[in-house]
Amino acid sequence: MNDLAPYQISTAERDDNSPAPQEDGLGCHAGKEKMRAAAQAAGMSETLGRYAQDYPQGPHDQPQSMCPAFGSLRVGLRMRRTAMVLSGSACCVYGLTFTSHFYGARRTVGYVPFSSETLVTGKLFEDIRAAAHQLADPEKYDAVVIINLCVPTASGVPLRLLPREINGVRIIGVDVPGFGVPTHAEAKDVLAGAMLRVARLEAEQGPVQAPRGARAGMPTIALIGEMFPADPMQIGAMLEPLGLAAGPVVPTREWRELYGALDCAAAAAIHPFYAACVREFEAAGRNVVGSAPVGYQGTAAWLENIGAACNVGRDKIDAAKARVLPAIKGALAATPIKGRITLSGYEGSELLVGRLLVESGADLRYVGTACPRTRFSEADRDWLEAKGVHVQFRASLEQDLAAFDEFKPDLAIGTTPVVQKAKQNATPALYFTNLISARPLMGVAGAGSLAKVVNAAIGNRARFDEMNDFFAGVGVGFAAGVWQDTPQDRVDFRKKQRARMARKPAEEMGSC
């Protein structure tokens, strides 16, 4: 089952001049290097090369995170009228669908199973094409998305040969292998970028379907990257004095919003690692601006850059600053954060949160992100480093834990294992994804949003000390519950018990 044997396609269909691959019988257990080599031999060099350019891995192999394909799956499952189909090992498909439903998806995930025979003979591709035809109902769907996981990608199953449209329904195939896309955050860009490309080409060919909502009366700024629902509204309020409005957020929730996103005056890379999406906006002739309106200085710089990108006059830029900056300064001063903090995560907004923490008064020492360094993250990196913060792109778990050990923070904000280590050391900790990134960050609402939860967590240090004293010794040494020989501490305890019992008069022992 799931042998890694190449899909047999003709030389004319191959995307490079590599020699015909040999059947080696490897499986998804073979390791990333062998899987990558097999994929290149099977004609996937162009795809893997583009991923390597868009999502550079850095000094270490890959950050520790969930299967990256979850990101693409999540993007599709959150879109209306979009069918999602997975092609990969059954165990991988089970894990991805379980995680998707754990995070609230209430939609069916399609699955095209395969065997060694269907993989080798090409029957798997035929099964995928048949599934696309079966699902392509224009009454139900705008698009059908098929995602190749590791084994089909490494075997060269050519989703590029699928029809681009069936019965008026778009057919989009993407390869999202764990050996080619480093994180699930970047896999969101893989599918969002592929959809933007299709939408851009459609718009270039003629009229397209209008977005569901009414069009803004002003030029818009498309927003790249998932964010807290209130943030686009905050951004819209800040853009109004500039004569601009907030456009759709990419990834979008509906296909027709892609056209609205492309029909913008400029795009804002709120999350700076969306390389494929940026490429499509720039191909459409749109300027892309990095960073985001977080904190006082961050908002001032962002408004300047947006104004320059859209040729807004100086008077309007100054008016926008005058409207929003005093309120942000007041909110930051009203809710200061006091304490040393380390911060790490894998969502892509880590540097933005770091800026907001510093402007709130926190003694931030370390920011680690699983995402790569890009030209759109440079301004945030420079600002943080000028404040004495160590910024680590493509941070590994080991680097995040080393930062905790080195800086000994009053609060650790991070991933699950970082939070676990902090609490084991009686240090307050907050899970970045659920407790920090799921809060407003932009404008006035963002200025005071972190202070309450962060200060409350830091204030719990005394409770951690009490619990640490109360449970001292539990789970360590002879109390760990796992040992090969009887621990010496327990032997001594038994000797003392027997000696104490022997000293008691028989009449005091009582009866059984």
Q: Which pTM does this prediction carry?
A: 0.84
Residuewise pLDDT in 10s, the chain (512 residues) = 333 333 333 333 334 443 333 344 455 566 777 888 888 888 888 888 898 898 888 655 555 667 899 999 999 999 999 999 999 999 999 999 998 888 778 889 999 998 888 888 889 999 999 999 999 999 999 999 999 999 999 989 999 999 999 999 999 999 999 888 999 999 999 999 999 999 999 999 988 888 887 676 899 999 999 988 899 999 999 999 999 999 999 999 999 999 999 999 999 999 999 999 999 999 999 999 999 999 999 999 999 999 999 999 999 999 999 999 999 999 999 989 999 999 999 999 999 999 999 999 999 999 999 999 999 999 999 999 999 999 999 998 999 999 999 999 999 999 999 999 998 888 999 999 888 988 899 999 999 889 889 999 998 877 877 777 777 767 776 666 666 666 666 556 566 667 766 765 554 544 44
Host H or E run for residue 267: strand 266-268
For residue 299, how far is the Cα from the chain centroid?
Answer: 24
Sequence length of the chain is 512
The single residue listed with the structure tokens 């799931």 is: 2
- Position 106 scores a pLDDT of 81
How far is residue 183's CA from residue 415's CA, in Å, rounded to a whole number? 14
Is residue 143 classed exposed, middle or buried when 0-12, 13-18 and 19+ CB atoms within 10 A define those classes? buried
- Position 277 scores a pLDDT of 97
Q: Which pair of structure tokens corresponds to residue 248?
A: 């759709």
| 485: three-class secondary structure by DSSP | coil
How far is residue 155's CA from residue 114's CA, in Å, rounded to a whole number? 12
Parallel/antiparallel/unpaired status of strands 411-414 and 340-345 = parallel
